[in-house]
Structure 1
Amino acid sequence: MDALTIDADLVRALVRDQHPDLAHLDVREVPGGWDNQLWRLGNDLAVRMPRTERAPALLRTEHRWLPTLAPRLPLPVPTPVRIGEPSARFPKTWTVATWVHGEPADRAPISDAGAADTLAAFLTALHEKAPADAPVSADRGVPLTQLSDGMTRSLDDFPEFPGLRDIWQQAVTAPEWHGPPLWLHGDLHPANVVVSDGTLAGVIDFGDLCAGDPAVDLAAAWVLLPEGAAARLFDAYPHTDDALIRRARGLAAAKCLFLIQMGRNGELGLPGGKPGWGPVGHRALARVLAAAPAPAPAPASAAAPAPRPTGN
């Protein structure tokens, strides 16, 4: 598999073999992607070709659940319409999905504060109670205590951001989510949403779709939205409370460090590195740090109330 070149000729041949009614459509590569290599198929479809070991399972998750979820979502999403089975030409699952028009936010950042309302409406529609057979993740939508070891290592790698330790401590000590597991996108960052005229125009890459704590998606308040828009999102989102805001801010800090690390890897030419993600991560991290309340002084007594965080 590693030696197999995924090029336009291969994509055309696979479409011709398994979905001949689509074979007349133009095929052209789209830069980017993480688990999957993306190809436009005509104007309104896309072919997603897996290039990591986990990618075929993620594609099957999308194929199983997105057609059910998409009709209730208020933004375009890449709804799978065909599945490509493993074959002699290509030994892994691949899919054909609807194309979501717009520019990825890592190349065209959201600038309209009104996108907070759009994102809140999208997440409100998505975050419904998930069925018992919904997928679950080992590291998304889970209690933050399960992520502490990994976050500690990340913080050790970035000593230049000491304020993040307080933000993570506030997050990991906040009350856990006690509601039912909700449907989650699971990976909302700038490369997984698209923008048109400065505002949110679509959400893509649902491979990490799972059920759990909505804080993982609410981290997008700082990772995606412009300065000052986070409070507007939390005002519009129905499940907001202090604990959710604290958990979401901690997860936003973790996502920012991931973006910055991928940027560093890209500058070094390491596999999977994304040079353009570094500046995106730094801008988002500045929003996270600006939103964090100053560490509270030691309370005079155990009964002293904790300060209420803001979503700014």
Structure 2
Amino acid sequence: MHDDQLAVPVTTVRALVDEQFPQWRDLPVRAAAGQGTVNAIFRIGDRLAARFPLRPDDPDTVRRHLADEAAAARVLLGRTRFATPEPVAIGEPGAGYPLPWSVQTWLPGTVATDDDPAGSVGLAADLAEFIAGVQSIGTGGRPFSGGGRGGDLRRHDAWMRTCFDRSEHLLDVPALRRLWGRLRELPRETPDAMVHGDLIPGNVLVRAGRLAGVLDVGGLRPADPALELVAAWHLLDDRPRSVLRERLICAELDWQRGKAWAFEQSMGAVWYYVDSFPAMSRMGRRTLARILADEA
């Protein structure tokens, strides 16, 4: 998926587990079904998941990042009725793999990319409950850190120019440029709140059309609360999307900003993953189609 991606064979994972966590030597190690964009995921037995960063970086920086992710996951654990991963351990480089890595609990369920629940009103209600639960945690007075999504939409202009340039052969770029020109001007009126920050189908577990759990919770942090509304556009069709909005009592400006964040994320997904991760590229296309239909 990435030009500089690290190779993580299962033999390396087996060696690292055996060396650093001998209590798990008797548990089978296997690659998890599906594909992550940030980490390679391996199962250790039935109850654990090992996550190996895919992009090269400074080991000390990665170790601090993994510790921050674990701390965030502990803050969220048990704060809603929906399952989220529990941090278990942080591993060290070795066996040819150059970075620290992490272990957390494995959550049962089917990712929403494999079981598309877009028409489920029940899922919409569950997502609204999860989002409200996350935002009830409180920021402790901390502001948005300034990195990634969740601040000023206009700070993403350079990235969007790259996305438009790379998408000329894939999408109706002139129409999308005009739409971004409107969305980027949407002001902020609501204060920062705690957000998961990446409620895309690959991070949402479902069972029988309902929310079973949420993955990739290490990004929990203060940000624009409208960032959570990407779930409305990535995961839901018209009627369930309206239910989510009603349950959250979402003001028009926040709703439009949620659309803007989903637009920004989708523009990047379409071209970046078109060959390396087609399911992610298709997610971006589908979300853009929903946004354009809503605009029309």
TM-score category of the 2 structures, normalised to the smaller one: 0.7 to 0.9
- 2:22 is matched with which residue? 20
1:118 to 120, 126, 138: 126
Give the structure 2 partner of residue 193 of structure 1: 204
User: What per-residue deviation string (whole Å, max 9, x for no partner) do you get for residues 15-42 of structure 1?
Assistant: 2222222222111101411121100111
Cα drift, residue 53 of structure 1: 3.1
Relative CO higher for 1 or 2, CA cutoff 8 Å, sep ≥ 6?
Answer: 2
SS of match in other structure, 2:239: coil
Give the drift of 1:124. Answer: 0.7
| Normalised TM-score (structure 1) | 0.81
Corresponding letter in the other structure for 2:228? D
Gaps of 5+ in 1: 267-272, 295-312
Q: Which residue of 2 aligns with 1:174?
A: 186
Aligned residues between the structures? 283
Once the two structures are TM-superposed, the CA of residue 73 in structure 1 deviates from its matched residue by 2.4
Cα distance, 1:182 vs structure 2: 1.7
**1:87-106 matches, cutoff 5 A:** 87=94, 90-106=97-113
1:281 aligns with 2:281: no
- Alignment check: 8 A CA contact 1:183 1:210 kept: yes
Higher-Rg member (1/2):
1
Matching residue of 1:59: 66
The SS at the match of 1:96 is: strand
Mean alpha-carbon deviation: is it higher for 161-170 or for 32-41? Answer: 161-170
Q: CA distance change for structure 1 residues 205 and 134 in 2, over 3 Å: closer, same or farther?
A: farther
TM superposition shift of 1:94: 1.0
Per-residue Cα deviation, 1:208-263 (whole angstroms, up to 9, x for no partner): 3332101122121011123332221111115x212111111111122222222134
**Alpha-carbon deviations, 1:116-174, whole Å to 9, x = none?**
11111111111232235688242211111212232244345346154434543443222
- C-alpha separation between the residues in 1 aligned to 2:272 and 2:116? 18
Aligned to 1:141: 150
Aligned-residue identity in percent: 32
Specify the alignment match of 1:256 in structure 2: 266
Cα separation, partners in 2 of 1:165 and 1:89, compared to 1, 3 Å: closer
Structure 2 stretches of 5 or more lacking a match? none
Name which of 253, 270, 273 aligns with 1:243: 253
TM-score by length of 2: 0.85
SS in 2 for 1:75: coil
Q: 1:42 to 1:3 in 2, by over 3 A?
A: same
Aligned equivalent of 1:218, options 224, 229, 244: 229
- 2:77 is paired with a residue whose SS is helix
Secondary structure of 2:227 counterpart: helix
Worse-superposed segment, 110-119 or 160-169: 160-169
Give 1:115's aligned amino acid: L
Deviation at 1:60, TM superposition (A): 2.6
Over aligned residue pairs, what C-alpha RMSD do you find?
2.6
Aligned partner of residue 28 in structure 1, secondary structure:
strand
- Could you say which residue in structure 1 is the equivalent of 2:50? 47
SS at match of 2:43: strand
